[in-house]
Structure 1
């Protein structure tokens, strides 16, 4: 049994994995180390488990489509007294098997046994299916 835990997060306003990658590249300029960050108001309590091999799984258009390894969780101070967490991510996006998810707010913990498998590198470059077709196929268990 894996000791790590993952996070799952909606990528609001993103149309595809390529959109997410493009957005993160524009944000990378803000980080001294060049790694993308996602800043959230809630700081995870299970830090050690996340940093023991956890990833963030991105829900795009109602479907988990990719993941990124979490490198660190850094406290962010914007001078307003609100404690925030910067989830520091590996820039490499790993495409995953499509897995439908209902909308939710913020992030959630995701157990390793509940995560979709990564796609092979050969399939990661396949053209994306239209969101409605991908959703329908995932609903019946084909994707």
Structure 2
């Protein structure tokens, strides 16, 4: 059964900000890797189609498919987990999410649906406005 991760996207103001950061990383290294302290114990379930869901400005906003989880040690000898991500960002139906540290598991049943086609958010609209427009059925 597929399992996802959820993480705060610290410093990003919007999905567009995240996409700019990804584009820069791809130009620099050819991969999009997010490093975290702990290696998930449910590796197989995550690599079975799991995604990293990003919380931006208090909203669960988008996801990236997880391609690999790589264990490594940093220059100080501390263990780390490099999460290799597909560079494509998929907007999801935004949901409020409070702050937390590190990452958390997110079951497939609890994951918000992707936004696609006519309901896809305009990257220029604030997340709060996008959510309000969806709530009243305009997008």
Both proteins in one fold, TM over 0.5: yes
Runs of 5+ in structure 1 lacking a partner? Answer: none
Q: What residue in structure 2 maps to residue 24 of structure 1?
A: 22
Q: Residues 32 and 86 of structure 2 are in contact (CA less than 8 Å); yes or no, is this contact kept in structure 1?
A: yes
Larger proportion of strand: 2
CA distance in 2, matches of 1:88, 1:61: 23
1:19-98 pair list within 5 angstroms: 19-31=17-29, 34-98=30-94
Q: What residue in structure 2 maps to residue 11 of structure 1?
A: 9
CA distance in 1, matches of 2:94, 2:124: 11
Q: Name the SS for the 2:135 alignment partner.
A: coil
Q: What residue in structure 2 maps to residue 123 of structure 1?
A: 119
Deviation at 1:76, TM superposition (A): 2.5
Residues 109, 102 of structure 1: alpha-carbon distance in 2 compared, 3 angstrom cutoff: same
Deviations 1:51-81 (A, max 9, x none): 0110000000100111000000012322311
Deviations 1:102-141 (A, max 9, x none): 1111100000111110001333352543344456x39xx9
Between Structure 1 and Structure 2, how many residues are aligned?
136
Q: Residues 94 and 127 of structure 2 are in contact (CA less than 8 Å); yes or no, is this contact kept in structure 1?
A: no
Deviation at 1:28, TM superposition (A): 2.4
Residue 142 of structure 1: which of 131, 135, 138 is its match? 135
